Amino acid sequence: MPKQNLSAAEAARALGISLDTLRRWDRAGKISVERDSANRRVVPASEVERLKGGEPSEQFSARNRFRGVVRAVTVEGLLAQVEIDVTEPARVVAIITRESAEQLGLKPGMSAAGVVKATSVMVER
């Protein structure tokens, strides 16, 4: 039976973020946490799934998927530049159409992935 609640460290690891980031998200209201009897943060598994965006709709190899958090979305004309702080020691920047950015509902602080195909980077949620 899957765990219903995860420790803060387990949740951070599952989300691919640092424990400090999880704490900041808690203070900013970006993640819903509860407290146990010792006043430690516990995160409902459903909240982790919400932030992860569920299972990817397509299967890709692990080497071309970079999960992370949207840092910025800059829209100019028909294009949108999406910056994703990835959990690896890197940042993925993608140029996508404005329509795609709007359809994905991309906002800073939300979970997303940069999917690398040759020299292009696509964005999924």
Structure token pair of residue 120 = 């292009």
Cα–Cα distance, 89 to 83 (Å, whole number): 14
Instruction: Give me the CATH code for the 5-52 domain, please.
Output: 1.10.1660.10
E strand map for 29-90? 34-35, 41-44, 65-76, 79-86
- Please write the tens of the pLDDT for every residue from 110-122: 888 887 766 667 7
- Please write the tens of the pLDDT for every residue from 70-85: 889 999 999 999 888 8
Domain residue spans in the chain?
A: 5-52, 62-124
Structure token pair of residue 25 = 């998200």
62-124, which class in CATH?
Answer: mainly beta
pTM of the model: 0.45
Q: Is the pLDDT confidence value at 62 over 50?
A: no
